[in-house]
Chain A
Amino acid sequence: MNEEITVAKTLDLKGLLCPMPIVKIAQAIKEIEIGEVIEATATDPGVLADVPAWASTSGNEVVSLEHGDVITFRVRRIK
């Protein structure tokens, strides 16, 4: 597990549908410092494809993406 990663901000995206999870992540990541990590929970399975794609376009890094009862993912701000 990623015990050593400290989460700078958490975000609840449960119930939100495309494109709002990506919009909220993009807004929230501006509020943390470069190198810091944001953790979010979501319910729309669309984010499984969209979060990595968004990270690739925006130049940020997906640290983890897990699909359990809810989807939990962590993104590191790179720029």
Chain B
Amino acid sequence: MEEEKKNKLSMVVFSGDMDKLFAAFSIALGAAAAGMEVTMFFTFWGLRALKKKVATGKSLFGRMLGMMYGGDINRATPSKMSFGGVGRWMFKKMMKAKGVTPLPELRQTAIDLGVKMYGCQMSMDVMEIPKEKMLDEVQGCVGVAFFLEEARKSEVQLFI
């Protein structure tokens, strides 16, 4: 029997790039504003969007990763023209001048509108980012089966 799809958006956020996170949160907010249910599943580099501004990693490699790719959503760099942080600075300046809402505020608004955010447990294990180092608003740490169950009940599915 065919299950009915809901007025819902399910999204995989794989990227931790600043520009792609803007896209992900803008779409999530647009959907939530239009009354859609929204689930965001953050995996791999995308975990940055849920991280607190704390050091991560236990093993040597884990700590190295934490240092080289550390920081929270504010440290996200654009996917093009990053130039070791100069690109981030430039885009932040340009966006501020135009009045674009910054990423942390977009994320907070998403939380306020009831967007559900999940972390990928496997990526968190690999990257040594435990749940305590992520935002308290993260609903849970889940796997691929969970995402697929959400996605197949959703009219709109995206991978960013």
Interface residues of A (CB under 8 A from B): 15-20, 22-23, 25-27, 50, 54, 57-59
Q: Is there contact, CB below 8 Å, between B101 and A22?
A: no
DSSP class of B's interface residues: helix, strand, loop or mixed? helix
Give residues of chain B (12-70) contacting chain A, Cβ–Cβ below 8 Å: 26-27, 29-30, 32-36
Q: Say whether B126 faces chain A, with CB atoms less than 8 Å apart.
A: no
Q: Is there contact, CB below 8 Å, between A17 and B98?
A: yes
Q: Size band of the B side of the interface?
A: 10 to 19
Query: If the complex has contacts A23-B109, A23-B113, are A15 and B99 also in contact, measured as CB distance less than 8 A?
Result: yes
Interface residues of B (CB under 8 A from A): 26-27, 29-30, 32-36, 98-101, 106, 109, 113
Selected from A15, A17, A22, A59, the residue in CB contact (under 8 A) with B33 is: A22
Which A residues touch B29, using CB under 8 A? 19, 22-23
Q: Is there contact, CB below 8 Å, between B35 and A17?
A: no
Q: Within the assembled complex, what's the spacing in Å between the Cα atoms of A50 and B27?
A: 12
Which A residues touch B32, using CB under 8 A? 23, 26
22 contacts between A and B (CB under 8 A): A15-B99, A16-B101, A17-B101, A19-B26, A19-B27, A19-B29, A19-B33, A19-B106, A22-B34, A23-B29, A23-B30, A23-B32, A23-B33, A25-B33, A26-B32, A26-B33, A26-B34, A54-B30, A54-B33, A57-B34, A58-B33, A58-B35
